[in-house]
């Protein structure tokens, strides 16, 4: 298993902007092994998503568990966000024992490379959209605690 880094010790690393993943490395055996270990780490921690910065790798790669199926998303980019938003409680493997309500777009369109390097474009809604937005925030050095809502107002 890979080590998931947490606040407060690793705040500086968790707030770094991640670099694009070098797509020429996708098909290397070591890269595919990393993708497997990355996903296993998320699942073993009972997570629904994990971003590479959370395992101390500042690259634009996330893994998500949607409807009991895990996916690797490389260099993900949200190309469309719905006007409609909702507020739900979130937590984070890198911010242990803290939960709070966060407003996010209800629907998104996402472009990314899959673990074979094939360009994908998919729409995600509700919980899947929320998970992906949360993980992409990690790639930009943003933590969910930065977006907490309380009684309709920001902390």
- Considering only CA atoms, which of 87, 123, 133, 86 is closest in space to residue 106? 86
> 78: which strand partners?
110
| Residue whose tokens read 């996916």 | 71
How far is residue 133's CA from residue 58's CA, in Å, rounded to a whole number?
Answer: 17
Buried b or exposed e, range 95-114, using 16+ CB within 10 angstroms: beeeebbbebbbbbebebbe
Residue 37 annotated to the active site: no
SS3 147: helix
| 49-51 and 61-66 strand pairing | antiparallel
DSSP designation for 1:
-
Catalytic residue among 11, 37, 89, 135: 135
Catalytic positions:
135
């Amino acid at each position: 298993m890979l080590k998931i880094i947490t606040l407060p010790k690793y705040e500086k690393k968790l707030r770094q902007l991640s670099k694009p993943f070098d797509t020429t490395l996708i098909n290397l055996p070591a890269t595919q092994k990393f993708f497997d270990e990355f996903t296993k780490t998320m699942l073993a921690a009972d997570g629904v998503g994990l971003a590479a910065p959370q395992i101390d790798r500042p690259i634009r790669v996330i893994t998500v568990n949607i409807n009991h199926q895990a996916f690797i998303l490389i260099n993900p980019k949200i190309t469309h966000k719905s006007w409609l938003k909702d507020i739900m409680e979130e937590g984070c493997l890198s911010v242990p024992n803290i939960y709070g309500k966060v407003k996010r777009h209800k629907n998104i369109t996402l472009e990314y490379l899959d673990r074979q390097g094939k360009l994908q474009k998919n729409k995600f809604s509700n919980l899947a959209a929320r998970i992906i937005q949360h993980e992409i925030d990690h790639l930009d050095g943003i933590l969910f605690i930065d977006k907490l809502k309380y009684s309709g107002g920001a902390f």
